[in-house]
Amino acid sequence: MKFFIDTANIEQIKAAASWGVLDGVTTNPSLVAKESRDYKELLNQIVEIVDGPISAEVVSEEVDGMLREARDLAGIHSNIVIKVPFTPDGLRVTKTLSGEGIGVNVTLIFSPLQALMAAKAGARFVSPFVGRLDDISHQGMDIVNDIVTIYDNYIFETEVLVASVRHPLHVLEAALMGADVATIPFKVLKQMFKHPLTDIGIEKFLADWRNAGKKM
């Protein structure tokens, strides 16, 4: 299972990369808006830190604008994957870009049928937003399970990228369901380190070592 980090913050990306667990990065307009940096400059820096898929999202809503932005962003580095929203124009763009060999991440997926359509159009990734579904009292992880089943049934190569992750349990469930990727906020990645028995265990080992007067 691949771990992406869901952020446009360089320090967070560097920290996650240093832990040896990072396979890629996802950004979106809201995450980029939090950083006071030029978008392309930011992406240029991210591709130097992480050697894996880096999702960069278009902000135009019609085909021509999306294609113009997508080709421009894809020109930054071969690891850039273009994120497009699940709309009729977004799917047209997905078909065109995948035909040109540019990877597309179809985002804002809230149903298994949307994911099926995105895969048929040639998406490299689909991003079901599990946290936002949970927020409206739908079981977000249920659609991940359905998408994994559908893709297995028809042997689609599109990867299921679990997005809008809010807590470590989302990551655990995604792994158990066989999702290909989880894109994880920095806060959740840090939470995944935590176990009280690990902390207590370290404390006890070190106390025993010190009390015995041992030296390294």
Catalytic residue (one of 2, 40, 83, 215): 83
Question: What is the smallest separation between the CB atom of 38 and ligand E4P, expressed in angstroms?
Answer: 20
Question: What is the smallest separation between the CB atom of 6 and ligand E4P, expressed in angstroms?
Answer: 5
* Residues within the interface to ligand E4P (CB under 6 A): 6, 26, 28, 107, 127, 129, 131-132, 163-164, 183
Give the residue with the Cβ less far from ligand E4P, 120 or 132.
132
Question: What is the smallest separation between the CB atom of 203 and ligand E4P, expressed in angstroms?
Answer: 34
Residue at token pair 């990065």: 25
Bridge partners of residue 158, in order along the sequence: none
Give the residue with the Cβ less far from ligand E4P, 160 or 206.
160
Give the residue with the Cβ less far from ligand E4P, 114 or 183.
183
Question: What is the smallest separation between the CB atom of 184 and ligand E4P, expressed in angstroms?
Answer: 9
- CA–CA distance, 15 with 196 (Å, rounded to integer): 22
CA neighbor of 116 nearest in space, from 91, 93, 84: 91
Is 40 one of the catalytic residues?
Answer: no
Residue with the closest Cβ to ligand E4P?
164
Give the residue with the Cβ less far from ligand E4P, 141 or 203.
141
Residue at token pair 């599990």: 130
Catalytically active residues are 83
